[in-house]
Structure 1
Amino acid sequence: MKPLFVPLNANPYDQFADGTKTDELRRYGPRWNENTCPTGRKVTLSRGYGKKNRMSGVIWRFYKQHGSLFGSTYKESIKRIYGTLDIEIAVISITNLEKIENV
């Protein structure tokens, strides 16, 4: 299975890079679910869609949770991005991050 490509905005990418973020939240559905995000699948995190600023890692946990069941910080982000808390969210936990050197 190819590594899962996860494009990120600058702030979340930097949080993964400095170790303050380990979970990526996406709207649960055809792109982000148990089949596309199995435990052990390799991941490529990218700061945007360019070839620079990439990290590789591994999914160590995946679960689905209703938006209304998160803590206040996550709830604010979910509401801001999706406009509602009445959705299912895919929580993708990523570990073993290493910077990919551009050759």
Structure 2
Amino acid sequence: MTERKPLFVPLKTKYYEQFEAGVKVSEMRPYGPRWNERTCFVGRPVTLSKGYGKQNRISGVITRFRRTTPEHLGAAQNDWIAVYGEDRNDVAEIFIRTELSQ
């Protein structure tokens, strides 16, 4: 199998710092053409970035993918609403093991 280009995931500072501290293990995005089972497959490398700058980056790998709804996010539902509003479309939840958590 050929090496796949890492999935680039820009994050707000708050969420980047949570990954950096090892307290965040998944990222949520609107499910669709960019964020789905085909693009976010288990084993794909990931580059988490604090915004779009090149200074703050964390490497990782996708360990699990889940398609769900905002109502099934539990406590993370508040973060979803803060970023995406009251959108009721499906959520792509991408579980990531980072180089910091290994």
- Give me the TM-score of the superposition, normalised by structure 1: 0.87
Q: Does the Cα contact within 8 Å between 2:58 and 2:98 map onto a contact in 1?
A: no
Aligned to 2:44: 41
Aligned residues: 97
Aligned to 1:75: 77
Q: Does the Cα contact within 8 Å between 1:75 and 1:85 map onto a contact in 2?
A: no
- Distance between the aligned counterparts of 1:52 and 1:46, measured in 2? 8
- Distance between the aligned counterparts of 2:14 and 2:60, measured in 1? 18
Structure 1's unaligned 5+ residue stretches are 99-103
- Give me the TM-score of the superposition, normalised by structure 2: 0.88
| Higher relative strand content | 1
**1:49-102: CA deviation from partner (whole Å, max 9, x where unpaired):** 11111011000000100111221x21212222222252200010000324xxxx
- Distance between the aligned counterparts of 2:14 and 2:31, measured in 1? 22
Secondary structure, counterpart of 1:5 in structure 2:
strand
Aligned to 2:94: 92
Q: Does the Cα contact within 8 Å between 1:63 and 1:92 map onto a contact in 2?
A: yes
- The Cα RMSD (Å) is 1.2
Does structure 1 residue 66 correspond to structure 2 residue 69? yes
